[in-house]
């Protein structure tokens, strides 16, 4: 964590707080569809789904976050790349909705300094998150860990709301997966936008069927 973030840890905690209005809790990352299709039947299968989702995030979203953080002046380019990469329309929609919500909330809360200079056609979440955290003096590694934490927390929260896991079970699962998440981030560290990859095709299939579910609690 850089000096600015060390002097203002409250900012990191505020961004990590579930009360921060970034819209993440409206999405299940394909978990709802997988559950309704009978692909998640017990705690072991839920844990496997969560780990696959973390690999998917680290391989397909973190490089875009790093690009937005390291070269915010090219944010429009990273935004266009993210839109082309997310060919799953449900995942693409979720990224745009979360990115726009995070950006608008950050500007309203922290002021114009959080507003990236580039005009964005889509405002996808990962590159916007990188650029905004850069503008708030959050260092890149802290931003990556914050994004990863929010991803895991959001999936666990979705599992609890769906009744796939109880509140205590969900928290215990998040605790058990935390070291694995750190390992995944270490194993994928250094990947750039040229290394973007979707590593969990079944997640795309399940999430892509979200709009065809008879009843839905989540948008994605």
Q: What is the pLDDT of residues 160-219, one digit of tens each?
A: 999 999 999 999 999 999 999 999 999 999 899 999 999 998 988 988 888 888 888 787
User: What is the reported pLDDT for 26?
Assistant: 83
- Looking at domain 28-205, its CATH superfamily turns out to be Urease accessory protein UreF (1.10.4190.10)
> Residue 2: what pLDDT?
45
Task: Tell me what pLDDT residue 64 has.
Answer: 98
Residue whose tokens read 């999430």: 207
The stretch 85-94 carries a mean pLDDT of 93
For position 128, what pLDDT does the model report? Answer: 97
CA distance 145 to 182: 8
Q: Whole-angstrom Cα distance, residue 91 to residue 27?
A: 10
Q: What is the pLDDT of residue 48?
A: 95
CA 39, 45, 46, 50 dihedral sign is: negative
Task: Write the DSSP assignment of 100-120 as a string of letters.
Answer: HHHHHHHHHHH-GGGS-SS--
Quick one: pLDDT at residue 171?
A: 96
Q: Do residues 56 and 200 lie in contact, with contact meaning Cβ atoms separated by under 8 Å?
A: yes
Please count the other Cβ atoms lying within 10 Å of the Cβ belonging to residue 112: 7
Mean pLDDT of 61-75: 96
In this predicted model, what pLDDT tens digit does every residue of 130-141 receive, in sequence order?
Answer: 999 999 999 999
Q: Structural domain boundaries of the chain? A: 28-205
- pLDDT for 7 equals 59
Average pLDDT along the chain: 91
- pTM of the model as a whole: 0.93
- The vertex-13 CA angle with 90 and 164, nearest 5°, equals 45
- Give the DSSP per-residue string, 164-204: SS-HHHHHHHHHHHHHHHHHHHHHTTT--GGG-----HHHH
Percentage of residues of the chain with pLDDT beyond 70: 96
Res 67: pLDDT? 97
pLDDT higher than 60, residue 6: no
95-101 mean pLDDT = 94
Residue in this structure with the two tokens 């290394």, named with its chain if needed: 195
């Amino acid at each position: 964590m850089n000096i600015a973030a060390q002097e203002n840890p409250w900012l990191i905690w505020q961004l990590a707080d579930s009360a921060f209005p970034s819209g993440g809790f409206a999405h299940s990352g394909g978990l709802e569809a997988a559950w309704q299709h009978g692909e998640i039947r017990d705690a072991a299968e839920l844990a496997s789904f969560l780990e696959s989702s973390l690999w998917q995030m680290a391989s397909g979203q973190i490089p875009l976050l790093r690009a937005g953080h390291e070269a915010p002046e090219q944010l429009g380019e990273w935004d266009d790349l993210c839109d082309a990469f997310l060919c799953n329309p449900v995942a693409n929609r979720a990224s745009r909705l979360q990115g726009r919500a995070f950006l608008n909330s950050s500007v309203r809360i922290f002021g114009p300094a959080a507003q990236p200079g580039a005009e964005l056609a889509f405002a996808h979440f990962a590159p916007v998150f990188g650029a905004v955290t850069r503008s708030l003096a959050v260092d890149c590694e802290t931003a990556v860990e914050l994004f990863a934490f929010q991803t895991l927390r959001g999936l666990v929260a979705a599992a609890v709301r769906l009744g796939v896991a109880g509140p205590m079970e969900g928290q215990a699962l998040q605790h058990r997966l935390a070291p694995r998440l750190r390992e995944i981030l270490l194993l994928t560290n250094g990947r750039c936008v040229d290394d973007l990859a979707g590593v969990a095709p079944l997640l795309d299939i399940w999430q892509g069927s979200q709009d065809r579910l008879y009843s839905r609690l989540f948008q994605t």
